[in-house]
Amino acid sequence: MPRSLKIIVFTVSGFVGFLVLVYAVLFLFVDINIHKPRLEAAASGALGMDVKVGGRLGIGFLPNLHVTLKDVHILNRGEDVVSARDATLGIDFLPLLRKEVRIGKIALKQPIISVVQERNGSFNFEKPPAARGTLPFPDLTDLSLSGGTLNYTDKKSGTRFVATGCSLSAHRMGPAGGKSADLRRNLSFTAEVACRAIRRNDFTMSDVKFAADGRNGIIDLKPVTMRVFGTQGSGSIHANFAGAIPVYYVRCFLPQFHIGEFFKTITPQKVAAGTMDFSANLSMQGKTVHEMIQSMTGKLLLTGENLTLNGSDLDREFARFSSSQNFNLVDVGAFFFAGPFGLAITKGYNFANLLRGSGGSSKIIKLVSEWNVKHGVAQAQDVAMATKRNRIALHGGLDFVSGRFKDVTVALIDDKGCARVQQKITGSFGKPVVEKPSIFKTLTGPVLKLLKKGRELFPGGQCTVFYSGSVAPPK
C-alpha cells in the first residue's frame, strides 16, 4: 500500500473513532448518573439477576471505555448474592451507535459473595423454576474480582466455610450452546482463582490456587494447590453437571504434613511430632452435602514413620496393664484417626485420658491407616501402628452418613497378629461409648508377660488372627 494511502486510511479511521467517542460521550456521559437505571438494567440482563447501584457513577476511557460504580449489590429473590465496594463495567462501542448498552467486562473490588444451598439442593443464585428460560450472559466475556470474600452455607447439613482474600480472572465466558438456565450446565469459561485462606471451624487452608475450565456442564479444577498443616498439598476436582444429579471426582495428596500442626486444631497441647503422608481418591454424587456423603466411594490412606506421641509412654502403660486396671486402648486407637479425614472423628473424642497418661513420650515406629469407603462408610483395611515393643491394630468402620462408629475394635496384638487385649467403641462421633477392655484370660501380671506366655494360654499356638497387615512386629 502506497504511503499516501496509508496516511488517508489512518486519518479516516482515526476520525471515525473520534466520532464514535464523541457520540458515546454525548449519548451517555453528559450526566452519566442520569443513565444509572439503564446501566442497572444492562448489568441485570447480563447477569440474570437484579443489579442495584447505591453510589454514584463515573466514566473512563483507558484502556477502554468503562463505567465505574460505587456500592453495588447483585440480588436474587430479594437477597444479596454479591455486594462490592466498586465495580467497573467495560462498555462495547459499536452497540452505542444503536443506542444499546452492552457490557463485555465486569470487574469487582472487595466483593462479598454469599452462596447458600437450600435444603432441596437449589442455590440462591438460581432463578425460580417458573422464571427459568435460556441462559443469560449473551455478551459478557470477562469477569474479574479482587480482595473478595466468599461465604458458603449448606442449610441441610449445616456446613459453613468462608474464603478470604480471593481473586478471580475468568475469560471467554458465554453460553455453551444449550438451552438450560443452570449456569453449571451451560456456561463455558476458563478461570484462574486464588484465595489467601479458606476456613471451616478450626480447620484452615491457606494460599489456595487453582485453574478452572468449564464446558458442556463439565467443570475441571486442576491443578488445585494449597498449604495445610505446614506443607504444600495438591489435587484436582472433576465435576459433571450434565445429568440430573451432579457427579464429582476428588483427588488430593498431602505429603509430609506436620502431625503437630494437625493436632493444634484439636488441642493447644503439643500432642505429637513428626510428618505423615495423606492421600484421598473419592467419587460422589448428589445435590447436597448430605447426598454427596451418602454416595462417597473410594480410598483414604494415612502413613507415617518415626512419630513421637507426647503425654504417655505407651510401652510402659502396656507393661503395667492388668485386669484390675482401666487403661483405654481406644485412647491409643484414636491416634489412627489423625489426619485430615479424622477431623470429624477426633473432634468428638476426648483425648484427656491419653494426654493425662503416665507422662513421658512414645516412639511410633510405623503407622498405617488405610480405609476403603463405600456409600459413605469407611471400612478399615490396614490400620495399625507399632511402638518399640508393641503393636496395636484396629478393625471396623466409620459411618460418615449417620456419624457413628461401626463395630470399631482396637486390639493389642502379639507377634502372630493375635489379639491379647481388645476394646470396642460404639455410638456417635460426638458421644462415643467405650467398652471396658476384654482380656482373653484373667491376668495377674503385666501384658508383656502374657504375650510371652502365648503358648500356655493357647495350646498348640492356635489363635484367631486379628491383624495381618503391613505393620511388622517390633524387633
pLDDT digits (tens, 9 = 90+) for 441-453: 434 444 444 444 4
User: H-type helices in 200-320, by residue range?
Assistant: 259-263, 289-295, 314-320
39-72 b/e (C-beta count within 10 Å ≥ 16 → b): bbebbbbbbbbbbbbeeebeeeeeeebbbbbeeb
**pLDDT attached to residue 235:** 96
- Top mean pLDDT of 130-134, 160-164, 313-317, 457-461 is at 160-164
**pLDDT attached to residue 62:** 67
Question: What residue segments make up the domains of the chain, in order of their start?
Answer: 34-201
Strands 187-200 and 203-215, by their bridges, are antiparallel
Residue 303 CA to residue 306 CA, distance in Å, equals: 11
Burial of 261 (0-12, 13-18, 19+ CB in 10 A): middle
Higher pLDDT, 464 or 350: 464
**pLDDT attached to residue 165:** 96
* Tens-digit pLDDT profile for residues 114-167: 988 888 777 887 765 544 444 444 455 788 999 999 999 888 777 889 999 999
Question: Is the peptide bond between 432 and the residue preceding it cis, with omega within 30 degrees of 0?
Answer: no
312 vs 203, 243, 357, CA distance in Å? 26, 53, 5
**pLDDT attached to residue 399:** 93
Residue 425 CA to residue 416 CA, distance in Å, equals: 24
Higher pLDDT, 11 or 322: 322
Strands 438-439 and 275-285, by their bridges, are unpaired
Higher pLDDT, 122 or 9: 122
- The rounded mean pLDDT for the chain is 78
Percent of the chain with pLDDT over 70: 72
